[in-house]
Structure 1
Amino acid sequence: MVVQLLFVLFCAGVLLSSTEGQNDFSKLPDLYKTGVELALKQVNSHASVQQHFLFFKSLSKSDVDAGFGVMYVYHHFLARATKCLRGTVDADYMKCAFRNDRPLIDCGICYKTFGGQIEEEPKPFIDCVYKPKLTQGIKTSRVQHCSKMSYSSGSASILLVRGSQ
C-alpha cells in the first residue's frame, strides 16, 4: 500500500513538472514568445543536440518602448531537454515530457521588434549555453551586447527599463 501511494505521488510530480514549462510559456506575452521560439529553433538545430528542447522558465525579462511601434526586448530564460528526439515536428509539452537527467540550457536573447514582429536589423542576439558552462563572463558579455543594441538607436538600455523577475 505504501509503495502504491509513493508511486502515485511520483507520477503526480512528473505530471506537474512536465506541465510547468507549458504554463510558464503560455503566460508569456507574445512579444517574448516569438523570441523564445527563435532561440529554441536555433538550439534545436545544432547537430550536437540529441533531444528536443522546450522553454522551461523565465529568469528575467525587460523591454523598452522606443515609440512608433518599436520595442527592444531582453529575455533571460532556461530551456530543458525533453524525451522527444531533436527534429520532432510539432513538439509540445504534452507529447514531449521534460527530462530531469540532462543539464538545462541558459539563454540570453535580445532583439528589436516593430509592430510586434522581430526585425532583421539589428540582428537578434541569441546566446544559449549549457548551464554548467555558464560563466560570469558570458553573463557580462550578454548584458554589454544587449545594452549596445538599444543604445545604438538612442533609447534607454533594455536592461534598465521595466525589468521583471
Structure 2
Amino acid sequence: MAGVFLLLVGVGTLLGSAGAQEAYDRLPRNFKLGPGNDVIYIYHNFYLKATQCPKGTVDTSNCPFRKNKPEVGCAICYKTIAGKIQASPKPYISCTRKPALTEAMKRKRVNYCNEMGYSSGAPGGLAEIGDTHF
C-alpha cells in the first residue's frame, strides 16, 4: 500500500512540475535571469605583436611580424550588463612590453581589477587566469 502511495505521489509531482516548466518557459528572459544574473566581469590577458604592414591595413593576413620589436603584454578588465560595457567602474587597460612584464606585474593587474570593484564579492572572482590560480 505504501509503495502505491509513493508511486502516486511521484507521478503527481512529475505532472505538476511539467506545468511549472511550461509556465517558466513563457516568462520573459529578464524574469528568468533574475536580478544581477546578467552582470559579467571580464578579464582579458593578451599579447600584441608589431607587423610590417602600413597603418590602416584592413586585411592583415599577409603581414609579416617585425622581429626587431618585442611583444606587448596587455590586460583589460571591465563590467558588462546585458552584453554592454559599463562606464562604472571605469574599464581598465594596462600594456607593457613583454621583456619588462613580470609575474608580480601580472598579479598586480589582477589585484587592481578586483580592488576597483570588478569583483562581484566572491573571493577570487578574477583570480583565475587559465590554469593559474593566485
Query: What TM-score does the superposition give when structure 1 sets the normalisation length?
Result: 0.49
SS of 1:82 mapped into structure 2 = coil
How many angstroms apart in 1 are the aligned matches of 2:86 and 2:80?
5
| Of 105, 116, 121, the match for 2:88 | 121
Structure 1 gap segments, 5+ residues each: 1-65
Structure 2: tracts of 5 or more residues without a match = 1-34
In terms of fraction of residues, the more strand-rich structure is 1
Q: Which residue of 2 aligns with 1:102?
A: 69
Matched residue of 2:104: which SS?
A: helix
Q: Deviations over 1:14-46 (max 9, x none)?
A: xxxxxxxxxxxxxxxxxxxxxxxxxxxxxxxxx
CA 1:113–1:92 in structure 2 vs 1: closer, same or farther (change >3 Å)? Answer: farther
Q: Which residue of 1 aligns with 2:52?
A: 83
Query: CA separation of 1:109/1:93 partners in 2, compared to 1, >3 Å: closer, same or farther?
Result: same
- Residues 77 and 90 (structure 1), Cα distance of their counterparts in 2 relative to 1, 3 Å cut: same
1:68 is aligned to 37
Structural mapping, 1:7-156, within 5 Å: 67-85=36-54, 88-89=55-56, 91-148=58-115, 149-151=117-119, 153-156=120-123
User: Which of structures 1 and 2 has the larger relative contact order (alpha carbons within 8 angstroms, sep 6+)?
Assistant: 1
| Alpha carbons 1:72, 1:150 under 8 Å: kept | yes
Contact 1:78–1:104 (CA under 8 A) maintained in structure 2: yes
Counterparts of 1:150 and 1:157, CA distance in 2: 11
Partner of 2:17: none
Distance 1:134 1:99 in 2: 19
Query: What SS does the aligned partner of 2:49 have?
Result: strand
Deviation (angstroms), 1:156: 4.7
C-alpha RMSD of matched pairs (Å): 2.5
Alignment length (residue pairs): 96
Shift of 1:154: 3.0
CA change 1:141–1:89 in 2 (3 A) is: same
Q: What's the % identity of the aligned pairs?
A: 40
State the AA in 2 paired with 1:69: D
CA contact (8 A) 2:45 2:75 kept: yes
